[in-house]
Amino acid sequence: MNHLRVPLASVAEFDEIIDVRTPLEFADDHIPGAINAPVLSNEERVIVGTMYKQVSPFDASREGAAMVARNIAKHLDTLFADRPRNWRPLVYCWRGGMRSGAMTLMMNMIGWRARQLEGGYKTYRTDVVASLAALPPTLDYIVLAGHTGSGKTRLLHALADAGAQTLDLEGLAVHRGSLLGAMPDAPQPSQKSFDTSLVGVLRGFDATRPVFVEAESRRIGLITLPDSLMTSIRGTTRCVEVNVSVDERVELLTQEYGHLLMRPAHFRAQLLRLVELHGKAVVDQWLTLLDNGQQRELSEALITRHYDPAYTRSSRKLLQGLAKAIPFEFHPTAQDLRVQAQALLALTSPADRCGSEAAPQASSGDR
């Protein structure tokens, strides 16, 4: 048994977590709180891998060892130069192999009490995937449903500000969820990085309190939500249908998607993707509104012709509790969002839960 190896459960015992994989591997995902000290650069890893296949494993190992030694020396002279004598770092690479082994051995020769993560990042990723399956069913969800432009995300943030537990999936995915939902100048995380962030949030919830979450489709931009979470959200019997007037929805979309007018070519490309669904004549009308700078008219057209029919097709089929949802009149552009959130918390509190069954439902014209 290698006394320098420790299991994943020991992560919290260390002063610092060192990821020695390449910068590209680290950017894709890493253990929360880890810092990157690559023992092979992106380019060096390609060189060694190519040499392993095309020349020989021996030559690849010899060349790789020289690169690793130089990079470790550089990190010791710079990144780790100020670490104290009693420092206890945990080191990991992809599978707990040679890269992290070399760094761990050198650190212990210096006198630091470094340890190597058994199984490396692969073990951590396996734990994340298992947690994504196990954690969602342990929570009690209250789902916020409603048409696009109803300000559900604003309501979710106001609920958090009022002290509620909230799961902001669009925030984690860095995407508003709709066709035009890409955030300006903010790329989405990788799927693995999203999964890591999601597990961290789920682990922080108190299972005795409800978690408010927006109704989402399985994909948010390029991110796919885990099956267990989708099943748990769609299966909850506790739903709130957020009702907002069309005028307020148009105003909200005008505010939140106004940045698209600054990138008309991109906006046009997104609208053209809807030709197959709505036909060329309809999309041409929308493009004319875009070209003329008629933002409010375009927002209203998208609401009535695209978003609302899509909501009718999907949400009522997929959300089990929507038929008996609590109606909630919301004003997303008002100043009193926290007051409105507190009103919803009172409406969904355990004391009011029984009464909510008898609460008057919103008329079909309001939805």
**Residue 366: inside a domain:** no
Contacts of 42 (CB under 8 A, 6+ apart): 22, 23, 24
Q: How confident is the model at residue 351, as a pLDDT?
A: 60
327's enclosing H/E stretch is strand 326-329
What is the C-alpha to C-alpha distance for residues 262 and 98, in angstroms, rounded to an integer? 50
Q: How confident is the model at residue 367, as a pLDDT?
A: 33
* CA–CA distances in Å: residue 141 to residues 151, 206, 212, 278, 352: 19, 12, 6, 35, 16
Residue 90 lies in domain = 5-118
Cα–Cα nearest to 80, from 109, 112, 32, 116: 112
Q: Which of 92, 118, 144 is the last residue of a domain?
A: 118
**Does residue 141 sit in the same domain as residue 14?**
no
The pLDDT confidence band at residue 105, using thresholds 50, 70 and 90, is very high
Domain with residue 318: its CATH number is 3.40.50
Per-residue model confidence as pLDDT tens digits over 321-366: 888 999 999 999 999 999 999 999 999 987 655 444 444 443 333 3
Residues 306/147, Cβ–Cβ less than 8 Å: no
Residues 214/201, Cβ–Cβ less than 8 Å: no
Domain with residue 19: its CATH number is 3.40.250.10
Q: How confident is the model at residue 179, as a pLDDT?
A: 67
Q: Assess whether 239 carries a catalytic annotation.
A: no
**Does residue 307 sit in the same domain as residue 184?**
yes
Which has more pLDDT, 264 or 76?
76
**Does residue 9 sit in the same domain as residue 34?**
yes
The pLDDT confidence band at residue 295, using thresholds 50, 70 and 90, is confident
The one catalytic residue among 93, 132, 225, 344 = 93
> What is the tally of structural domains in the chain?
2
Contacts of 12 (CB under 8 A, 6+ apart): none
**Residue 356: inside a domain:** no
First CA to last CA across the chain, in angstroms?
A: 64
